[in-house]
Amino acid sequence: MQIKLSSPLDMHLHLRDADMLKTVAPLSSYGFAGAIIMPNLVPPVTTTEALLAYKDRILSSTCRDKFEPLMTLFFKNDYSYEFLKKAKKHIFALKLYPSGITTNSDGGVSSMDIDLLRDTFETMSELNIPLLVHGETNGFVMDREMEFGSVYEQFASNFPNLKIVMEHITTAHSASLLDKYENLYATITLHHLLITLDDVAGGMLSPHLFCKPIAKRPEDRDALLKLALSAHPKVMFGSDSAPHPVDKKESCGCAAGVFTAPIALQALAMLFEKHKSLDKLQAFISDNARKIYGYKPIEKEVILENIPFTVPKSYKDVVPMFSAEKLPWSIKSVL
């Protein structure tokens, strides 16, 4: 059997820089037509010059493929109207991190007080620049996303013309917000559709499944599955593939992030097939994102076939999800 996917999109991707970029970028650009690139480099991407230079480095690492990097700026509250107006043609969205909440987010926002954020949010609304949010508080780790829910609600209700994407949602509560606010959307990762906290820490600790937000309860995963498998029109695939070198994962003080880029399409086919929902995969992997963002991707046709794919143990020094395991689907061709 074969599955044809037209212009798969990854609406949340970490590509890093330098050697790591050269290792991981081609693994995304092979099967995906485009991806939203996260700006949490060190230092974060906060200027048009840095963004364009980073985009060039991405394009040189992906030059063998048809692939469009959709660039984001690291959200700062002091971007002026003039700056954003000029930068707009180069940026796809702004990514807001609460300060210190995850990898390289120290320069993020320290208060979610909407009076402090108002000017920037109004500018973004007027210029039609989407706001992508890592929605966690610094509370108890299992409750962080749920606690952030009221912030999402305030953002969405006070700025109805601002397109807000709840990135990598992990809870049934976040899922429930989608139908409450017209301007709220979400990305869902592959790993949060597959695992719960049990897979991370229920037996032997699995550092390669440790990420932020941490995987939650079975009922949360079920709520995410329901959205993805029905291709709810307000959700999109965003892998949050976040590579770290093996010595930063298998170490005391494990870095957060699951590396899924090279196995995402194959594993999604496995998951959607298991749930008899293959007919919904195209919407989840591309069509919903096109509609939500009003974006027309580069044309690319990916054929998957049900011939087993043995996942490499590692890609240079990065260990992927399903390392050394067999997945039932492989990529047959990309045109």
Q: Which residues bind ligand DOR (CB under 6 A)?
A: 14, 40, 102-103, 134, 211-212, 242, 256-257
Angle between helices 18-29 and 48-61 (to 10 degrees): 60
Q: If contact means CB under 5 to 8 A according to the sort of partner, which of ligand DOR, Zn ion, none does residue 163 touch?
A: none
Angle at alpha carbon of residue 203, lines to 197 and 209, rounded to 5°: 45
Q: If contact means CB under 5 to 8 A according to the sort of partner, which of ligand DOR, Zn ion, none does residue 256 touch?
A: ligand DOR
Q: What's the closest the beta carbon of residue 213 comes to ligand DOR, in angstroms? A: 7
Q: What's the closest the beta carbon of residue 102 comes to Zn ion, in angstroms? A: 7
List, in order, residues 6 or more apart from 210 with CB less than 8 Å away. Answer: 200, 249, 254, 256, 257, 258
Cis omega before residue 245 (within 30°)? Answer: no
Query: Residues 121, 155: contact at Cβ < 8 Å?
Result: yes
Sequence letter at residue 137: T
Q: If contact means CB under 5 to 8 A according to the sort of partner, which of ligand DOR, Zn ion, none does residue 144 touch?
A: none
Secondary structure (3-state) at 257 = coil
Closest to ligand DOR by CB, 223 vs 318, is 318
Closest to Zn ion by CB, 35 vs 334, is 35
Question: Of 240, 247, 279, 287, which one is the catalytic site residue?
Answer: 240
Closest to ligand DOR by CB, 134 vs 144, is 134
Q: Is 198 a catalytic residue?
A: no
Q: What's the closest the beta carbon of residue 210 comes to ligand DOR, in angstroms? A: 7
Binding piece for Zn ion, criterion CB under 5 A, among 118-126, 190-198, 200-208, 239-247: 239-247
- What is the rounded CA–CA span in Å between residue 214 and residue 123? 32
Q: If contact means CB under 5 to 8 A according to the sort of partner, which of ligand DOR, Zn ion, none does residue 103 touch?
A: ligand DOR
Question: Around 166, how many Cα atoms within 13 Å sit in the side-chain half-sphere?
Answer: 34
Residues counted in the chain: 335
What is the gyration radius of the CA atoms in the chain, in angstroms? 19
Instruction: Assess 240 for contact with Zn ion (CB under 5 A).
Output: yes
Closest to Zn ion by CB, 227 vs 242, is 242
Active-site positions read 240
Query: What are the residues binding Zn ion (CB under 5 A)?
Result: 240
